[in-house]
Amino acid sequence: MKILIKANYILTMNEKDEVIEDGAVIVENGKISKISKISDIENENVDYIIDDRPNILLPGFINTHTHIAMVGFRGFADDKDLMDWLNNYIWPAENRAVDREFIRIASLLAICEMIRTGTTTYNDMYFFEEITAEISREIGIRAFLGEGLIDFPTPSFKNPEEGLKIVKSFIENYLNDEYIHPTLCLHAPYSCSKDLILRGYEIAKKYNIPIHMHVAETKSEIEIIKNKYGLTPVRYLNSIGVLNHKFISAHSVYLDDEEIEIYKNHNVSVAHNPQSNMKLSSGIAPIVKMLRKNINVGLATDGTASNNNLDMIDEMRSCSLIHKVHLFDPKVVSAKEVLKMATIYGAKVLGIDNLVGSIEINKKADLITISLNSFHLMPIYDPYSAIVYSANGLDVSSVLINGRILMEKKELTFIDFEEVKYNAQKLKEKVIGSL
């Protein structure tokens, strides 16, 4: 199918930061085949036209750290310290309520929310990821998925040994999939033994897949790891040789300059979760320093139990604002820079910037439009500013992934809202029923 998309502004997010006014993109066989002015393309023969102007066309958002099925715990335990939140609420509730049915319903709800708000790729760590993979593939959203390895029993495995088996078979099932990219997920340095981390690292190396881990998220983690190994988390991981260009470090809130240098030297990527870090009072990650050193920093929402939504526009705004006030510098993390974090930098974090993350000929057509037809988006002086500082996820109008139209004019094309809503009620029943 040949699709023509018209836009008042195209933010290409390419290396030259090109913006095309009154532009058009042609999508053929899932890829971008033409980018030009509307006036130069008007006579082109196409099968379908998407025209939701007034609008902005840009690459889909890339959420570099999620636990999507945690939508089932959205608002379940707010306003707690991270360790209290994990030990006394989330982990016990997960162990009682999370099963295959929970993951099926929650993954579908979360994917609907992500597509509705413009996310076209996500990087997830959770349980029963084979179910999340099936649903992601069926709908057609790009997903990096890995079963979260951890020392103690989880809803999907009784011990790490069993977890490693699940991980290996998942990797082999999806090694060359168009939509599903297996990852090796280690929960955190404080919840995974050195042996588990090293075994995970070997598997990731063997299959050449990313390692995804929570690192240096809170002050208490720093103390725990220092007491146990005599080193900070980053120095500890470096000392055992697991940091490399495929390592995706979620959070990285507590890093000193030398540790940032370690990340730089090993080409480690960072998934920055400002809202989760704010909500759990974890701290503010030094991403401005990292960005200045050209470390790949992507944006992420984390799970919805600590956010509480998967809206990347909301996340961009928080990200930009928190660093401005923290550094007393309104120039840092500009609208354009944070939009890069949510698109092309995210693609670099996941190692797929040759495929997605910008609007360029031959890249995959993972594209979204933002409707400007709302009071809060008038007038438009600068399209980057409009998206980051004025818009929200519900302003996303059309979404294509791999050239397939998953939303047009704010209507999901693949599922009925009422069906998702009906099933979503069951999540709360499951959680409450398990208490």
Return the number of the residue (60 or 303) whose C-beta is nearest Zn ion. Answer: 303
Nearer to Zn ion, 86 or 405 (CB): 86
Q: Is the dihedral of CA 315, 320, 324, 327 positive or negative?
A: positive
Which of 302, 315, 366, 395 is close enough to bind Zn ion by CB under 5 A? 302
**Hunting for tokens 């909301």 — which residue is that?**
314
Beta carbon nearer to Zn ion, 120 or 252? 252
- SS3 label, residue 22: strand
Binding positions for Zn ion, 135-164, rule CB under 5 A: none
CB 187 to Zn ion: min, Å: 9
Task: Kindly state the smallest distance separating residue 303's Cβ from Zn ion, in Å.
Answer: 6
- Three-state SS string across 354-382, please? CCCCCCCCCCECCEEEEECCCHHHCCCCC
Q: Is the Cβ of residue 26 or residue 271 nearer to Zn ion in the bound state?
A: 271
Total residues contacting Zn ion by CB under 5 A comes to: 1
Q: Which is nearer to Zn ion, 302 or 353 (CB)?
A: 302
* The two structure tokens encoding residue 294: 């050209």
Instruction: Mark the segment that binds Zn ion (CB under 5 A) among 12-20, 159-167, 294-302, 321-329.
Output: 294-302
Closest by CA to 242, choosing from 216, 211, 264, 221, is: 211
Among positions 179-238, residues that touch Zn ion (CB under 5 A) are none
- Work out how close the CB of 65 gets to Zn ion at its nearest, in angstroms, rounded to a whole number: 6
Which residue's CB is nearer to Zn ion, number 4 or number 68?
68
Q: Please state, in angstroms and rounded to a whole number, the distance separating the CA atoms of residues 271 and 213.
A: 10
Q: Which 3 state secondary structure label does DSSP give 294?
A: coil
Contact between 8 and 52 (Cβ < 8 Å): no
Under rule CB under 5 A, residue 124 binds Zn ion: no
The interface region with Zn ion, picked from 68-76, 255-263, 279-287, 299-307 by CB under 5 A, is 299-307
The CA-based dihedral angle spanning residues 43, 45, 46, 50, taken in that order and rounded to the nearest 10 degrees: 10
Q: Which residue is nearest to Zn ion (CB)?
A: 302
Chain residues binding Zn ion by CB under 5 A are 302
